[in-house]
Amino acid sequence: MADPDTPHAGVPRPAQRLRHEDRREAILEAATEAFYRHGYGSAALRDIARQAGITQATVYYHFKNKEEILLTIITEFSDELFQALLSALARDADPVARLRNAIERHILFTKTHRREVKIILEDMKFLGEALNARVKEKERAIFSLYRTHLQELQRTGLIRDGDLIPTTFSLFGVINSLYHWYRPEKPLTIERIAGELADLLLNGLLRRPAAAGAPRQGGERC
């Protein structure tokens, strides 16, 4: 099936190929904004196409339906978050500092990807069972990343004994709650919030509280 917005049939020239990729990204950007502003249920494909500057037929060339667009937004966000956390957990020799890096990086993600966080929390319910299972698999990978690192800290005696499943869920709950109360226009910066929440979470886990002057990714101390 030829892209309706490609002027000539056949193998696209490099410039045409770039436009093809740009159109897909334009659809995802327009859909992300529409789902964030109006919710998945109220966002129409014709409006997404108009915002992206393409025809509705072109949307169907790139995606089967609106549900596949939603899935793509969520999975691409999840993949990006997973890679960011993986990098944060490998960035320091000290395992406690690595966990701090991951917590702070995750929190900063809630600012830079605020729209995607809202879409995941409010619109994932619109995915069918099979697609929802694919998203859950990615969520489990992120969950496992944290739990594996916590297990390492527990084995070395750095954090308290206990079941790490509720601990990891609690960590996720604190970070996800930011979407409901953090407002970028307020004086309290996300960098400062990241540092303070990292302190709170670490001091609740460690056998000894994290040092007051421990290095952190961003912001001043209270």
User: What are the pLDDT digits (tens) for 111-150?
Assistant: 899 999 999 999 999 999 999 999 999 999 999 999 999 9
- 7-30 per-position pLDDT tens digit: 444 434 444 444 767 899 999 999
Rounded Cα distance between 218 and 196, Å, is 10
Contact 76, 35 (CB under 8 A): no
Q: How confident is the model at residue 1 (pLDDT cuts 50, 70, 90)?
A: low
Q: How confident is the model at residue 212 (pLDDT cuts 50, 70, 90)?
A: very low
- 38-81 per-position pLDDT tens digit: 999 999 999 999 999 999 999 999 999 999 999 999 999 999 99
Q: How confident is the model at residue 4 (pLDDT cuts 50, 70, 90)?
A: low
Return the domain boundaries, the chain: 14-63, 67-205
Q: Model-level pTM?
A: 0.81
Residue type, 56: Q
Cα 145 to Cα 46, 83, 86, 117, 172: the distances in Å are: 39, 10, 8, 19, 12
Give domain 14-63's CATH number out of 3.30.70.260, 1.10.8.10, 1.10.10.60, 3.20.20.70.
1.10.10.60
The DSSP code sequence of 60-125 is: HHH-SSHHHHHHHHHHHHHHHHHHHHHHHTTS-SSHHHHHHHHHHHHHHHHHHTHHHHHHHHHHGG
- Residue 101 burial by Cβ neighbours in a 10 Å radius (0-12, 13-18, 19+): buried
Domain 67-205 has CATH 3.40.190.80: no
Coil vs helix vs strand at 35? helix
Q: How confident is the model at residue 210 (pLDDT cuts 50, 70, 90)?
A: low
Distance of CA 10 to the CA centre of its chain: 37
- For the chain, give the mean pLDDT: 86
Report the pLDDT value the prediction gives residue 66, as an integer from 0 to 100.
Answer: 97
Among 96, 98, 76, 79, smallest CA distance to 87 is for: 98
